[in-house]
Amino acid sequence: MPIDWDQATFLSSRPPFAPARWLDPVSPCYIFQGRYRLPPPFQILSKGTMTEHLTRLDNGFRIVVDPVPHVAIVTAGVWVGVGARNEPEDRNGLSHFLEHLLFKGTATKTAFEVAAEIENRGGSIDAYTDYESTAYYVQTGARHWPVALRLLAEVLTESVFPEEEVERDRSVVLQEIDQYADEPEAVLGDALHATLYPDQPLGRPILGTAAHVASFTRQHLLDHLARYYRPERMVLVVSGRVDPGEVTALGTQLFEGQPNGPVPILQPARYGGGHRAIARDIEQAHHALAFNGLSLDHPELPALRHLANILGGGMTSRLFQEIRERRGLAYDVHADLDSYTDTGFILFEAATAPEQLDEMAAILLRELEQAQRDGFTAEELARSREQLRFALGSAQDSTFGRAQRLARDILIRDHIRSIDDIEAEIDGVTLDGLAQVAGRILSGPPTSCVVGPPPARPRRLNRRRSFL
């Protein structure tokens, strides 16, 4: 019999005589018609109707509430539609620097008190900066969600940026930059962006450079906050065991007074392409090959996701099978997608011994050319559908994953897609559509980067696709 969750009694922890398959001793559960019930992770997601509540305030601020009654952990976050891509060249890294400083003191709290407000209740507070967005979020027990909302509002609207904290965190960010410089994958990622999008914000590192970070002042932070943190480019998302009406009421009270204003327009991206090699005294050569891709709202993006997944998305993918399983040339080989509001790229990445780099690069190119020439099988597409559907469901198994999906939908599309809609996009890709996208994307001009021992460069493989 289907469970009517509205009629079920909620228990905050597992009863002592619960079945052994309930491995987590603190998992919430329900009593329905005299029996204990532990809902599977995708129970709510399997419904055709949407459970999220979206409210738009008069100033443009948006509030999304995602009630998940069987989950005892709440994620509350504010996502802002601004990131490294919004920065002029002399302010590269300022979005990330601001992300650090927003936790370093308000009109009524020190940096320690900001952290203690959440950690005293067993929760955590964190943030991240991307090219087109910045996120600030709190995770805590369900009964503490009002504290989380009030703290988020306070750090976003009442931060004072004490000079001593600015100087201290400047040193922290410089250490972070040095740490990334020691990681070949991070160096490769920054080099790839710089080659894909030369001389434009999308090609600059999110952390900025040491010289830029050293130049930032408190006034720079205040100006950036006032210019870009406008309510019409912000969204509050709360996911977990909460009452939508209560969350919306408190969110409205906290954010309705924020003034709106003009939203600066992004500089359109220009694909560059080319080849770059960076010498590092390390054991392996790290290699990335990318092609111009598709924007976040492009109708063929689902097909491109299948392309990346079939070629390099798992142990059964073509590149994993050929490069690792059959030839043992790399421990990890994979494909990935990065998409933005008006551009994107598909990426193939692996690391191998320097003396095997040419062989691995040649195999990679051969596999891509075979994909263009011969297309894909029905079995590969069917497997990819199942993998992408599982990845979608797995991401929704946490309140953070759910909140992040909803926030991105609002920032990108200004509406929420249902799980059924996303699954329909996954299932709607045909073999012909996949072949057309593969033929067009993979025949475009490549971008390649290598980070490794000198000479960190594969030889030219052919005239059409030379790496360096």
Distance from the Cα of residue 294 to its chain's centroid: 16
Q: Say which amino acid occupies 74.
A: V
State the pLDDT at residue 51: 77
Q: How far apart are CA 286 and CA 452, in angstroms?
A: 6
The residue written with tokens 């059924």 in the block is 420
Q: How far apart are CA 96 and CA 419, in angstroms?
A: 31
pTM: 0.86
The three state secondary structure string of the chain is CCCCHHHCEEECCCCCCCCCCCCCCCCCEEEECCEEECCCCCCCCCCCCCCCEEEECCCCCEEEEEECCCCCEEEEEEEECCCHHHCCHHHCCHHHHHHHHCCCCECCCCHHHHHHHHHCCCCEEEEEECCCCEEEEEEEEHHHHHHHHHHHHHHHHHECCCHHHHHHHHHHHHHHHHHHHCCHHHHHHHHHHHHHCCCCHHHCCCCCCHHHHHHCCHHHHHHHHHHHCCHHHEEEEEEECCCHHHHHHHHHHHHCCCCCCCCCCCCCCCCCCEEEEEECCCCCEEEEEEEECCCCCCCCHHHHHHHHHHHHCCCCCHHHHHHHHHCCCCCCEEEEEEECCCCEEEEEEEEECHHHHHHHHHHHHHHHHHHHHHCCCHHHHHHHHHHHHHHHHHHCCCHHHHHHHHHHHHHHHCCCCCHHHHHHHHHCCCHHHHHHHHHHHHCCCEEEEEEECCCCCCCCCCCCCCCC
**Residues 30/10, Cβ–Cβ less than 8 Å:** yes
Burial grade of 317 (CB within 10 A; 0-12, 13-18, 19 or more): buried
Q: Residue 298: name the closest of 392, 404, 412, 180 by CA.
A: 412
**Residues 452/357, Cβ–Cβ less than 8 Å:** yes
- The CATH code of the domain at 53-255 is 3.30.830.10
Low-confidence spans in the chain with pLDDT less than 50: 1-49, 458-468
Beta bridge partners of 287: 350, 450
Q: How far apart are CA 256 and CA 246, in angstroms?
A: 15
Domain 274-452 has CATH 3.30.830.10: yes
Beta bridge partners of 94: none
| Known catalytic residue at 325 | no
Beta bridge partners of 274: 447
Q: Residue 81: name the closest of 201, 207, 233 by CA.
A: 233
Q: How far apart are CA 330 and CA 27, in angstroms?
A: 40
Q: Residue 349: name the closest of 373, 379, 317, 375 by CA.
A: 317
**Residues 4/11, Cβ–Cβ less than 8 Å:** no
Tokens standing for 85?
Answer: 């891509």
Beta carbons within 8 Å of 355's beta carbon, 6+ residues apart? none
Name the residue ranges covered by the structural domains of the chain. 5-37, 53-255, 274-452
Q: What is the largest CA-CA distance in the chain?
A: 72
Q: How far apart are CA 401 and CA 394, in angstroms?
A: 9
Q: How far apart are CA 229 and CA 82, in angstroms?
A: 8
State the pLDDT at residue 266: 83
State the pLDDT at residue 50: 58
Q: Which of 87, 99, 349, 380 is catalytic?
A: 99
Strand duo 446-452 + 274-279: pairing: parallel
Q: Do domains 53-255 and 274-452 have the same CATH topology?
A: yes
State the pLDDT at residue 457: 52
